[in-house]
Amino acid sequence: MLEQENNFRAVNERMTFIYELHNLMKDNNVILIYEGFFSQEITKSVLLMTERKFDAEGLDSSVKKKIFNVMVEVLQNICKHQFVEDQEIPDNPAIFMIGIVDNDYMIISGNPLLTSVIDKIQSRIDKVNTLDKDGLKALYKEARIASQISEVGGAGLGFIDIARKSGNQIEYRFEPINDKVSYYTMCARVSRNASESE
Amino acid sequence: METLIIQGTEDTPTVVLDAANNKYEISGRSLPEDVTAFYKPVFDWIASVSGVSKLDFHIKLEYFNTASSKILLDIFSKLETLKENGIDVTIVWNFSEDDEDMQEAGEEYSELVEVPFKLVSF
């Protein structure tokens, strides 16, 4: 149990935004990067561009689907949560990136948020990170029955679905910006080999 | 009751609820920005169902986001009510044979929903 905990910490410490950016950039393995205002239109454009690229490369269709699934949940999460109390934080816009590192497709997002919500988000991600495939399936089933569509149109099921579809733990980091606001980065990895994701 | 037909787009599904032609189907992709607003006409239509004795409700989605997943569950609950009111309802879950996730999603719904469920691959 303790070993698992240390593993989470090690994984999160390894994952700094700059470190991942460096890895992606140095080998020209960034597929797409977008920073700024996010909207449904942006989501559609990003999906279309990525789909076209993967079709052209002949990527395995089940890997493609998993990536697409994760991308939609991540992009729509950004749309719903990109502003802090409906205010844009101009020096810290939201960002979305997709790239390849080793054998994994990395789907990365960043956005500012109120420091006061960090505990809630962290505990949700930590929870899904402890669960295996069957555990995630059971949690999804239970959460979906209990959920309501929120004011911003979400069902609170995104992290569970991201963990299920990616087949890997969700990595994340929170960096303070000022006394009220932090910047949240997350990374979902989808293995290039479909069977490895199971 | 009215016929409801909504043309699909890259982020919203095609909806055909047409009693005259015995066709009831939601197909395509479902990732609308506002699931509640998009699916409201479907709920209104279900509430208006009358004079129908058999209803095969087809789902043939290539993709749906988590909010749509919740809404689908709500739709199926409403179909349960129609069944309780004496309509012969079947939900037909269509999935591409190489789409294991879509098959699994159908199986999960079939375990939860008190309406006869058919899983059909294409």
Give domain status of residue A133, yes or no: yes
Kindly report the CATH number assigned to the domain that includes residue B94: 3.30.750
List pLDDT tens digits, range A46-68: 999 999 999 998 899 889 999 99
User: Any alpha helices (H) in chain A, and if so which ranges?
Assistant: 2-14, 17-26, 40-57, 61-81, 118-130, 133-146, 158-166
| Residue A198: pLDDT band with limits 50, 70, 90 | very low
Residue B36, chain A, CB below 8 Å: the answer is yes
Give domain status of residue A197, yes or no: no
| Number of independent structural domains in chain B | 1
Name beta bridge partners: B90: B56
Six token digits for residue A44: 């559609």
Give domain status of residue A50, yes or no: yes
* Strand pairing class (A181-191; A104-114): antiparallel
What type of residue sits at position B18?
A: D
| Residue A151: pLDDT band with limits 50, 70, 90 | confident
Question: What SS3 state is found at B24?
Answer: strand
Give domain status of residue A74, yes or no: yes
Residue A40 to residue B63, Cβ atoms within 8 A? no
Rounded CA gap, B40 and A9, in Å?
44
List pLDDT tens digits, range A18-43: 677 777 677 768 889 999 999 999 99
| Number of independent structural domains in chain A | 1
Q: Give pTM, 2 decimals.
A: 0.88
What is the distance in angstroms between the Cα of B21 and the nearest Cα belonging to chain A? 33
What chain A residue is nearest to B74 in terms of C-alpha separation?
Answer: A145
Query: Residue A129: is its pLDDT beyond 90?
Result: yes
Give domain status of residue A9, yes or no: yes
Give domain status of residue A198, yes or no: no
Q: Does the interface ipTM go beyond 0.85?
A: yes
Residue A65 to residue B67, Cβ atoms within 8 A? no
Which domain range does residue A117 map to?
2-192
Half-sphere exposure of B75 (CA within 13 A, CB side): 27
Kindly report the CATH number assigned to the domain that includes residue A37: 3.30.565.10
How confident is the model at residue A197, as a pLDDT? Answer: 44
> What average pLDDT is seen over chain A?
88
Rounded CA gap, A188 and A125, in Å?
11
Which domain range does residue B85 map to?
4-121
Indicate the range of A85-94, B11-20, B39-48, B76-85 predicted with least confidence: A85-94
List pLDDT tens digits, range B10-60: 999 999 999 999 999 999 999 999 999 999 999 999 999 999 999 999 999
What chain B residue is nearest to A45 in terms of C-alpha separation?
Answer: B10
Residue A154 to residue B66, Cβ atoms within 8 A? yes
